[in-house]
């Protein structure tokens, strides 16, 4: 599975760790931790599906960092995603995919749970949009 995400992830990380190969970069991060896919908050399958959507469709303009570091409640995520949809930023996603993603984000990145630990160089990409 992770292999499929590697290109999108490597793209984001290549900017932060230019000296490392994409494969090495991807292995430095525990994606199950970052995206909370260990099955504790949401069923692992749902988490992996949402993670795939994020890495494939949400990392062309900014990294995944603002997504996992930003905490919103359900309405906050609705507002953010509506803004993205209305601006045509994620036109490849169906309304159903966006809604599934919103619920996943609200469940996992909502201010109740501490944000994932990320290397400082990645955190710097938080405000790169």
Site residues for ligand HEC per CB under 6 A: 57-58, 60-62, 66-67, 70, 80, 83-84, 89-90, 101, 129
For ligand HEC, give the closer residue by CB, 78 or 89: 89
For ligand HEC, give the closer residue by CB, 27 or 82: 82
Q: How far is the CB of 21 from ligand HEC (least distance, A)?
A: 25
For ligand HEC, give the closer residue by CB, 10 or 98: 98
Q: How far is the CB of 67 from ligand HEC (least distance, A)?
A: 5
CB–CB of 98/81 below 8 Å? yes
Q: Which burial class, exposed, middle or buried, applies to 21 when counting CB atoms under 10 A from its CB (0-12, 13-18, 19+)?
A: exposed
For ligand HEC, give the closer residue by CB, 78 or 84: 84
Q: How far is the CB of 83 from ligand HEC (least distance, A)?
A: 5
Q: How far is the CB of 19 from ligand HEC (least distance, A)?
A: 27
Residues contacting 63, CB < 8 A, separation 6+: 12, 13, 15, 16, 122, 125, 126, 128
Q: Which burial class, exposed, middle or buried, applies to 103 when counting CB atoms under 10 A from its CB (0-12, 13-18, 19+)?
A: middle
CB–CB of 26/55 below 8 Å? no
């Amino acid at each position: 599975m992770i292999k499929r995400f590697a290109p999108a992830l490597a793209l984001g990380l290549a900017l932060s760790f230019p000296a490392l190969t994409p494969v090495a970069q991807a292995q430095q991060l525990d994606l199950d931790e970052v995206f909370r896919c260990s099955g504790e908050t949401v069923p692992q399958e749902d988490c992996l599906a949402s993670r795939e959507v994020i890495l494939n469709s949400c990392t062309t303009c900014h990294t995944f960092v603002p997504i996992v570091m930003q905490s919103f409640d359900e309405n906050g995520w609705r507002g953010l995603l509506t803004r993205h949809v209305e601006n045509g930023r994620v036109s490849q996603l169906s309304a159903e995919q966006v809604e599934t993603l919103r619920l996943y984000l609200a469940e996992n990145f909502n201010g109740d749970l501490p944000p994932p630990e990320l290397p400082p160089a990645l955190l710097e990409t938080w405000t790169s949009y």
